[in-house]
Every structure is written in structure tokens, then in C-alpha cells.
Amino acid sequence: MAKFVFTPKESSEIAASYDAVIVGAGGTGLTAAMQAHELGLKVAVFEKNEGLGGNTNKASSGMNASESNVQYAQGIIDNKEDFYKETLKGGGLLNDRDMLRYFVDHSAIAISWLEEHGIDLTDLTITGGMSKKRAHRPASMAPVGGYLVTGLLKKIQEEDIPVFNKAKVTKLVKENKAVTGIEVETESGLKKVAAKAVLLASGGFGASKEMMKKYRPDLVDYKTTNQAGATGDGLKLAEAVDAQLMQMEYVQVHPTAQTDGARTFLIGEAVRGEGAILVNRAGKRFVNELNTRKIVSNAITGLNEDGAYLIFDQGIRNHVKAVEFYDAIGLVKHGASLAELANEIGVDAANLEATVKTWNEAVKAANDAEFGRSTGMDRGIEKGPFFAIHIHPAIHYTMGGIHITPETQVLDTNGNVIKGLYAAGEVSGGLHGNNRIGGNSIAETVIFGRQAGIQMAKFAREN
């Protein structure tokens, strides 16, 4: 089967006006474009990078939802209230509760909406801070992000929705306290485009040293899992029209990234969700691997041992297709036995064998007496060969951003709605509190991407 290739439109085809203009072609922007188009709007998407998909391409675990048909089909009885409470707890009780309520209430509907668009997420895994398998992913167990972006682009190409790459929005046009369009730099020069509604879906600032220095100087030397374009451009565009930013100091460090080479790779939470453990240089566990990212990251940093090692076997590997990619680029160490693996990575072999034996007994008894882990225990580490990945914490996600309402409307510094301006996805703040739960960012892109499309259509019809 031929590989799908999406062809962006030429900048010469940019029209003078649209009903809705979307800044950013990641999961949020593409979802919003699809939804707004289906509600009858003339839509265009502008992406500064050559490649489309943004940070969504890097998402590997899944898309959280509760009370979904997929869960019921697999005998998992979940409820929205647990999803709400666990996300609130994970965010240090600092989440915007109205946004969180909308998010949780619309999560299962979003899975069904994707299914209606040929994007099936029918396999389930679990992420840190969650009590049930809520992370929906493709049946192939492939990384969710690339699958989602490809699926959305296929639909967008079918519907002939214009997407322009190498088109950097440099200014929001504001008239009479309302945003009425954009200025965009393209290969054929600077263009001014009028719009009834503008959506900022441009992602966070996890790859911006400048903004990290401003908001989290303690993290300025950390490597990042973000794509190079995650430099907070949308935040700057918003600030220039007096939008309010919130919780900007809340930056998530992901516990398991591979940072040994020139590039940084995120090792998805699904590896731990399917049964992997973390060990220190002595070959011993030191944390509940599926606690929140903040707690696990702090535990690894607290070792002062140049990171830690993720340990898993062939049985776990069979349930996480992303491992094939990690191995293909040389991140995975192999051992026919645990002793051989320990020798390969330089940890104490007797300790590693004892640690894995204790862990396997904990899995069989469904009781982790050492660290109280209760999830990601469907299988032990028993089936050779055995594998290890050297990991370090790295900047992963920026929870803060533009202050929005649950309807994705942007608020100004006095707390008033800026007419015609919307924001969704990582560029917005408030949903996650001080720590994002794994699997909630892809859910946010679809749930609030759809909401933005719906609200822009409502606004365009009324104005």
C-alpha cells in the first residue's frame, strides 16, 4: 500500500479572507479545521514549519477517555468522576475545574468522533496517575500521535481544506477590541488575511531557551523532547493583543527521555504502563514507576546517578510497538539473560536479578509491597531476551499558557473575552494544573480542537 503523502497548498493560493483562520497544524489545529469545516465554515490552516503535525507527532502513549465504548468492549467499567478526580489530584488541585469538567465529559465522545473519521483507537493502556486503562491507541499499538496526524490530514485532503506550510503568522490584526485577521509571512511575501475568527493552536514553549529562562530558569539547561518549532510564538501573538497568560511557571519534566546523543527522544509512558520497571545503578528499584511524572522525575533526579534504566522483556516489548523504533535508532540495550543485560549497562547483576524476581512475585500477588504500585502489572519481566534503555528527565510540556474559557475564548488581562480570538491545545493554560497526566494532551487536542471549531462556527454565524 502506497504511503500517504499530504500536499500543502501554495502560498499564492491564500485567499484575502476566511471565516476561520487556524494558526498551527498540530492535532488541535487539524481537529478544529475539520470540525469548523463540517459546520460550514470556510477555513484555512497556517503552519510556520515545513512539516505538519507539530508536537503531536511525538506523542506515543495514547488518548485518555473514560466511559468509552472501547473500554466497555474490553470489559473495563470506568467512570468520569474518577477520571476527573485523578486528573485534579495529578494537577495539584490547580486545574481550571470548569475546563476539566468539559474535558472529562467530552472525552468518550471525542473517541467516537475520531472513529467516525476513520481514526480508530481500539487498544488500551495505562499511564501514571490513572487507576484504569484510559489511554486509547491504535490496534497496532503504534504511537498515537503520528497516527492521529496522518488520519486527520487524510480527511482534510479529502475535504480540500487549505493547509499552508512555511507560513509564519507574525501578527494578529485587532480592530475595535476584536481580532479580525492575521498577517502571515510566506515564500511569496507578507500577506494580510481577514477572518471572522482566529484560533491559536500553535503549541507550547518547551523548545524555547528564551522563554524557559524567563519562566523557569532552573530548567534552562535541561534537554527537551519537543520539536524545534515549539517556541511559544502563539503566546507572543496573544500577549501583543493584551491576552492574559496564566500558570507559565508550570513546566513538566518527563521522567523517561533518552538524552545521550545529539537528539532527545521521548520514551513513552506506555513502556511502563505495559510492565517495565526503573532501576538505579545498583540494579534496584527506587520509585513507583507509574506515579505522576513530577514524582517519578524528581526521584530519578534525586539519585544523582546520571539518570536511570528502564528494564523490560520481550513480552512487554510485544505490547509497545514504539520500542521497535527506539531499537532501530540504537537506544535499546539487549541481553539474552538479566545477568548479560546488567553487564551490558554496567549495573550490579545479582541485584538486578533479585530486583526482577521480587517484582515478578509482586505481579503474581498483585501486591507491590516495596513501592505501592498497583497499575501496569499485567505481566512480569520473564520472557527473554531482556532490554534496557538509559533515561533522563527532560522538558516535555508547558502546562501554562493563554487564559481561556471552557469555550476556548481568549481572555484579556482584565478577564474580558477578546472577540474573535480562540486558543486551544498546549498554547492554552489551566486544564492540567501543575502537572499533566500522560495521555491527556492528545485528549486535549481533540476535545478542545473540536470545541474551538464548534465555537468559531457559532461566532461566525452570529457575526
Q: How far apart are CA 108 and CA 115, in angstroms?
A: 11
User: Nearest 5 degrees, angle CA 283-CA 287-CA 291?
Assistant: 145
Q: How far apart are CA 95 and CA 104, in angstroms?
A: 12
Q: What letters, b where the CB count within 10 A reaches 16 and e where it falls short, cover 406-422?
A: bbbbbbbeeeebbbbbb
Amino acid identity, residue 21?
V
Beta partners for 258?
A: 265
What is the C-alpha radius of gyration for the chain, rounded to an integer number of angstroms?
22
Q: What letters, b where the CB count within 10 A reaches 16 and e where it falls short, cover 155-187?
A: bbeeeebbbbbebbbeebbbeeebbbbbebbbe
| H helix count then E strand count, the chain | 15, 20
Q: Please list, in sequence order, all residues whose beta carbon lies within 8 angstroms of the beta carbon of residue 64, skipping any fewer than 6 positions away.
A: 83, 107, 127, 130, 134, 135, 136, 437, 439, 440, 442, 443
Report in angstroms the alpha-carbon separations of 170 from 48, 141, 243: 10, 38, 16
> Residue 18 has which C-alpha cell?
476566511
Report the candidate in 294, 273, 247, 287 with the shortest Cα–Cα distance to residue 430.
Answer: 247
Is 263 one of the catalytic residues? Answer: no
Report in angstroms the alpha-carbon separations of 377 from 22, 292, 363, 414, 456: 42, 16, 6, 49, 44
> For residue 333, which phi and psi values (nearest 5 degrees)?
-95, 145
Which one of the listed residues 293, 317, 436, 450 is annotated catalytic?
A: 293
Q: How many Å separate Cα 452 from the centre of its chain?
A: 18
Q: How far apart are CA 261 and CA 321, in angstroms?
A: 22
Catalytic residue positions? 293
